[in-house]
């Protein structure tokens, strides 16, 4: 059973990449899988347009037991960030505490006391959605807009993540590639490039169909490995992830969004013999308008799916409505 | 039809408050409506215990059209905070921008460019959940724990909001008290104390039943007023809100959580002639273990409910999984 | 006695501004008083070049009593910022506290306890230096560099304030224009444009000479007024300050730096009948390379100067060595 | 020539520590070298009381050439912090940039453009002063105050570092122990406990006298090593530093303040065979009221001192006037 069965076949992607020429490979994929203009000149939703009320309603029908699962990692100092691009782990500090209240230091009447807190964090420090303004291709942002007209120091003036606020609830599908194609622990090795065939055979093994408007969650097992072994280079180092060659599949399936349990969604090191950086992002975000999630924790959900054999569910993963943000932390909730 | 019909009547609350003695009134309500020990000595969920899988499943059945509504205000500098208790509006800054990318300043290969961002914000600056460690009663936190053992400068060591991560999805009910009891715009005046009778008559007007495990959203109309007139003293000034006398109803209905469109959930000024501060919080959070939301934006949902007459829905309002936080920003998603 | 006596007369500035044409007035002054290239193509110090070791040594000779004065306002939430350009007041939070230590919550051995803290603040929220990358003129930064090549999201890549680190110690002169030209309280009214004549007559009244390499402190009295009356619109509203027509004097005196007790250094509203914004900044920073300080608190020093009649002193005002910053908080120390 | 020659001999310190009993050793030193009450019950300055105007004036006489040296490390993400106690490196972000200005995105009139920035940082992330509220001894803060009455979540309510604002300018002395007692590079090995004898012989080698009211800078060479080899465990790992046995010397010399080029001032690992943490801090800050600086960069100054043989200078090291802070970043300026 393939994702293609329910709709026109996606454009065929090249079987092989020219590993010496990332710019050409990216350009080819960008041209082949662009969605610029597909939803009009003023679009700010990208592939979230595929997530229609009808498809959301269909997703709701998957709630059969009422069990809820959080797919969020913890937000705290014990995170993977090491400062690359000034990304730190979240710094959570208290404005008021129980020790203060107990010591009688708060000055409130009738015995009330309180605690309050503050956070400072990069919006992409942990479990997150990338906004459409997160990545540019040769100075162009999603839907053919100039990057310089879209994201300034004031934030994303056009496609800020606040536009996603009400949209990210729908049918969720877990593709546990780690379990199907990985080692005995259900983990893919770092550097493993997940192909279209891997995705389709995983769906087949799960007896689940990928449909337009879906929010896919791809489990590689890398996060589980960090839980066991420590963060190591999770934030930017080698990792399993999607191959650039999956761009056509991502386009053709008409999924609304896709998230992984890795830092960077796509395989790392990237699939070129010359300097390259996140080529699938460059195709998917500015050209395809694909909504990408990273650093999710699918472990509890994956264990449940493995136990009951049901890999589809209702998924709500609402970003914070931060005006002009190009990313947002999120606590995705799957309900089965 | 009243909320009481489906279960034992809640304990009667006093019809009148002694406006000279907040401490005694709070003590009475705290004693009458305490849930300490109800879910064992180790409980970290409070009234979220009422939100069982069966009740979540029942809530899912309310999704009939697949329409989704965000109940979040925007997170940005144009917010209501004015510095009280060092609460600022969110400060969102960019680490990388489209103008940089367009100017060729990013140093990435093959034409990829990016934007990244950071936020610094109080966790209760805008649409939010209060955690169980947010309020103390005479040095005691939820479930009878010492405040000083619970919330230190390291955060809430016991009942941090990360424990809520997977729980806040279930049946939502909107009680649009503003529309039922307010002015022609559907707004209650500042200082209006919402009573049990108001809540029950609103539910009756909506032909909706409040059930155990529900997540209630109470609309006063104050937020709509700020949209029209500017923030003014929204963050801490006079506001409509729940009366302290509703404590018994909040306890008896066995709701899982309740949120309002105001800064402080309860009526302000508080209902005493002597200095008082958020007495209903003091009863509800540390004693009852009630999960409270504030600063929600119910406007789009309320308009839809008024249009179709359906005031129940599936609501997912997942806090960020911030370790040890006593509150969390949230983007609540109602699906009808 | 005038500043001009010790060196060649500064270029004459126009007596009158064309209040309808800020762009032309700025262009004229920028051309007349540009220092581009004066200290070579690679200069990162601007007018700090005037502060030579010999002049610093002369300043040191002014220390006669050993009395020290801080010219810093307090950094805390009770500040003037109201969110314009996302400038907040400083948010200072604790990582550890004495209440925690006293409650035995810190886990340290042998009875040691500690407190630690964090700050989040705009670098120009209170007493500060402007860096050379703070202002641009038609896309050009100090010394004729393209603004886009100088200050990106990574900060000021060329003239970051860290380059000032060792330089800002030298001869300080207080020009208490408020005391000489203001009301009985020694305060200039908001909107008062301080002219070259005001500066020179103040120096004459003080019997102090302005010399090359000096760090000038100009007191308007506006800060004293806010201490008495509250912040009001201190951060960006009407204020006394330097007239655009002082540009020639600022250039000709060869001062190293100049600071005021106001938010914006120059008079506000600005001296034009059409929309204008900080025109003297536009001349002084990118064209002249002048180092400007704002929001200083000269009150204690000014009282002492009035008492002993000595308006010159040794001044150390070292910015934090923040890599790439375009401004820095500072605690200026005058020693007499 | 020794520090002791000019004044009464300091109390003799124990030649040897009982390495099994830090609590007893700390208690002995705390009792022997306490300054509680020395400057009255309301004191907030500790040993800064020793830095009188007369001594500041004497320090000013040391300015002979007008050369200034910054003793600050750089504040940026390339710092030593690794998250211990939530201490991160500074996160500096831009509110406005030159790329924005050049792209015409700022909306200002007459060609003016601007850049603005924000910082979030622990106050002790880099070159800093410890405030008197930074360390407690068995729940007691400086001058015999209860820690819980002194430092709450609102900060240091009594001895906040803003009280130091005008005081830290005076005679500075560099003791380059690394150069005198270290290896051929002038560096002490990690774990090297600097003794009173080391300090006195270094002063003798430098032909400089340590006097009451001095601000001492002790160079171990460890910072120079990190410049060459990378940060490694600079923030909390093994380091050269003062021995606990120097407490008596620190007390007897009546110095106003002392700073080192290391993270933690005292030798690490600490000098005990059982768990111990910063015992000299526990004696020096809450008991002696000693003002301690850490993470200074003395390299440029030390090279100059070695070259001209003059190890005394005028030093201004003014902390930011952050209300209630228990530490502050600082850019110390030595002028010779």
- Segment D154-178 shows an average pLDDT of 98
ipTM for the predicted complex comes to 0.95
CB distance B117–A115 less than 8 Å?
no
Report phi then psi at D291, rounded to 5: -90, 120
Residue A31: pLDDT band with limits 50, 70, 90: very high
With a cut of 90, say whether residue D260 has pLDDT above it. yes
Phi-psi bin for D107: left (phi > 0), alpha (psi -120 to 50), beta? left
Nearest chain A residue to B129 by CA distance is A116
Q: Tell me what pLDDT residue B2 has.
A: 38
Q: How confident is the model at residue C85 (pLDDT cuts 50, 70, 90)?
A: confident
pLDDT for residue C180? 98
> Is the sign of the CA dihedral A327, A330, A336, B3 positive or negative?
negative
Encoding tokens for residue B70? 């965000």
For D116, the closest chain A residue by CA position comes to: A153
Q: Which residue has the higher pLDDT, D157 or A2?
A: D157
Whether residue D88 and residue A93 make contact (CB cut-off 8 A), yes or no, is no
- Non-local (6+) Cβ contacts of A158 within 8 A are A44, A133, A141, A145, A149, A150
D99/B103 Cβ within 8 A: yes
| Cα-based distances in Å from D247 to D3, D34, D140, D178, D210 | 14, 10, 18, 20, 15
Q: Which of B255, B248, B259 is nearest to B213 (CA)?
A: B255
pLDDT at D7 over 80: no
The answer, as to whether pTM is greater than 0.90, is yes
Domains of chain D, residue spans: 3-82+123-335, 90-120
Confidence category of residue C15, pLDDT binned at 50, 70, 90? low
Is residue C94 within 8 angstroms of chain B, CB to CB?
yes
| C102:A105 CB<8 A | no
Q: Is C94 in the A-facing interface, judged by CB distances under 8 Å?
A: yes
- C4 pLDDT more than 90: no
**Mean pLDDT across D172-185:** 98
Residue A94 contacts C, CB cutoff 8 Å? yes
The dotted CATH code for C3-82+123-335 is 3.50.30.50
Contact of D116 with C326, CB cutoff 8 Å: yes
Task: Note whether B113 contacts A: Cβ–Cβ < 8 A.
Answer: yes
Looking at residues A316-330, what average pLDDT do you find?
Answer: 98
Report yes or no: C262 and C233 within 8 Å, Cβ to Cβ.
no
List pLDDT tens digits, range C109-137.
999 999 999 999 999 999 999 999 999 99
Q: Are B292 and B328 in contact (CB under 8 A)?
A: no
Report the pLDDT value the prediction gives residue D85, as an integer from 0 to 100: 85
| CB–CB contact B103 D105 (8 Å) | no
* Mean pLDDT over the full length of chain C: 95
Q: Chain B closest CA to A46's CA: distance in Å?
A: 17
Find chain D residues with C-beta within 8 A of B120's C-beta.
118, 120
Tell me the C-alpha distance between A175 and A208, whole Å.
9
pLDDT at B4: 36
B121 to chain A, any CB pair closer than 8 A? The answer is yes
Query: What is the least distance, in Å, from the CA of D26 to any CA of chain C?
Result: 8
Q: What is the pLDDT of residue A43?
A: 98
> Rounded to an integer, what distance in angstroms lies between the CA atom of residue B56 and that of residue D115?
50
Are the Cβ atoms of B77 and C89 closer than 8 angstroms? Answer: no
pLDDT at B15: 59
Q: What's C97's DSSP letter? A: -
Nearest Cβ partner for C169 among D68, D72, D115: D68
Q: What is the share, in percent, of chain D residues with pLDDT greater than 70?
A: 96
Q: What is the pLDDT of residue B89?
A: 95
> Please, what is the angle between helix D222-229 and helix D299-308, to 10°?
120
Using DSSP's 3-state secondary structure scheme, residue C164 falls into: helix
> A314 and B67 in contact by Cβ < 8 A?
no
pLDDT along chain B (336 residues), means of 10: 39 71 97 98 98 98 98 96 90 96 95 97 97 98 97 97 98 98 98 98 98 98 98 97 98 98 97 97 98 98 98 98 98 98
Task: Give residue-wise pLDDT tens across range C26-64.
Answer: 999 999 999 999 999 999 999 999 999 999 999 999 999
- Chains interfacing with C (3 or more CB pairs < 8 Å): A, B, D
> Between chains, do D77 and A100 touch, taking CB under 8 Å as contact?
no
pLDDT band at A75 (very low <50, low <70, confident <90, very high): very high
Closest of D294, D298, D306 to residue D330, by C-alpha:
D294
Residues of D in contact with B102 (CB under 8 A): 99, 103
Quick one: pLDDT at residue A16? 83
**Half-sphere exposure (Cβ direction) of C159: Cα atoms closer than 13 Å:** 36
Tokens, residue D4: 């002791």
Q: Which residues of D touch B100 (CB under 8 A)?
A: 97, 99
Mapping DSSP onto H, E and C, the string for chain A reads CCHHHHCCCCCCCCCCCCCCCHHHHHHHHHHHHCCCCCCCCCCCCHHHHHCCHHHHHHHHCCCCCCCEEECECCECCCCCCCCHHHCCCCEEEEEECHHHHHCCCCCCCCCEEECEEEEEEECCCCCEEECCCCEEECCEEHHHEEHHHHEECCEECCCCHHHHCCCCEEEEEEECHHHHHCCCCCCCCCCCEECHHHHHHHHHHHCCCCCCCCEEEECCCHHHHHHHHCCCCCCCCCECEECHHHHHHHHHCCCCEEEECCCCCECECCCCCCCCCCHHHHHHHHHHCCEEEECECCHHHHHHHHHHCCCEEEEECCCCCECCCCEEECCCEEEC
Please report which confidence band the pLDDT of residue C156 belongs to, taking 50, 70 and 90 as the band edges: very high
Can you tell me the mean pLDDT for C293-303? 98
Mean pLDDT score of chain A: 95
**Alpha-carbon span B173 to A30, nearest angstrom:** 45
C91 Cβ under 8 Å from any chain A Cβ: yes
pLDDT, tens only, D282-314: 999 999 999 999 999 999 999 999 999 999 999
Task: Say if residue C105's pLDDT is above 60.
Answer: yes
CB contact C246 to B (< 8 Å): no
Q: Residue C83: its pLDDT value, please? A: 87
Q: Is B96 on the interface with C (CB under 8 A)?
A: yes
Name the token pair of B184. 């022609």
Which of A43, A29, A39, A7 is CA-nearest to residue A212?
A7
Cross-chain Cβ contact C86/B77 below 8 Å:
yes
- C209 φ, ψ (degrees, to nearest 5): -105, 135
Q: Which residues contact D144 (CB under 8 A, 6 or more apart)?
A: D36, D37
Give the sign of the dihedral formed by CA C115, CA C121, CA C127, CA C129: positive
């Amino acid at each position: 059973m393939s994702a293609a069965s329910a709709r026109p076949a996606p454009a065929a992607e090249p079987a092989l990449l020219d590993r010496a020429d990332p710019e050409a490979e990216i350009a080819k994929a960008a041209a082949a899988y662009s969605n610029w203009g597909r939803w009009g000149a003023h679009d700010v939703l990208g592939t979230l347009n595929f997530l229609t009320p009808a498809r959301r309603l269909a997703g709701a029908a998957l709630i059969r037991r009422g069990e809820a699962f959080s797919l969020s990692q913890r937000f705290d100092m014990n995170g993977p960030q090491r400062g690359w691009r000034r990304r730190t782990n979240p710094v959570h500090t208290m404005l008021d505490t129980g020790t203060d209240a107990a010591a009688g230091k708060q000055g409130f009447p009738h015995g009330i006391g309180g605690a309050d807190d503050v956070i400072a964090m990069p919006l992409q420090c942990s479990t997150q959605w990338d906004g459409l303004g997160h990545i540019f291709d040769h100075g162009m942002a999603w839907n053919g807009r100039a990057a310089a007209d879209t994201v300034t120091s004031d934030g994303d003036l056009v496609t800020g993540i606040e536009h996603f606020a009400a949209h990210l609830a729908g049918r969720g599908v877990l593709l546990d590639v780690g379990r199907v194609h990985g080692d005995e622990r259900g983990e893919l090795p770092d550097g493993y490039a997940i192909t279209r065939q891997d995705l389709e055979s995983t769906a087949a093994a799960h007896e689940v169909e990928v449909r337009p408007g879906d929010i896919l969650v791809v489990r590689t097992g890398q996060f589980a490995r960090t839980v066991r072994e420590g963060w190591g280079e999770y934030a930017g180092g080698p990792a399993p992830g999607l191959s650039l060659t999956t761009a056509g599949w991502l386009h053709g399936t008409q999924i609304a969004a896709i998230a992984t349990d890795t830092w960077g969604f796509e395989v790392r090191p990237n699939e070129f013999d010359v300097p390259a950086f996140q080529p699938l992002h460059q195709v998917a975000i500015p050209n395809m308008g694909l909504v990408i999630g990273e650093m999710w924790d699918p472990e509890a959900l994956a264990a449940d799916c493995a136990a009951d054999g049901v890999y589809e569910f209702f998924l709500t993963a609402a970003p914070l409505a931060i005006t002009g943000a190009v990313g947002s932390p999120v606590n995705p909730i799957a309900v089965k």
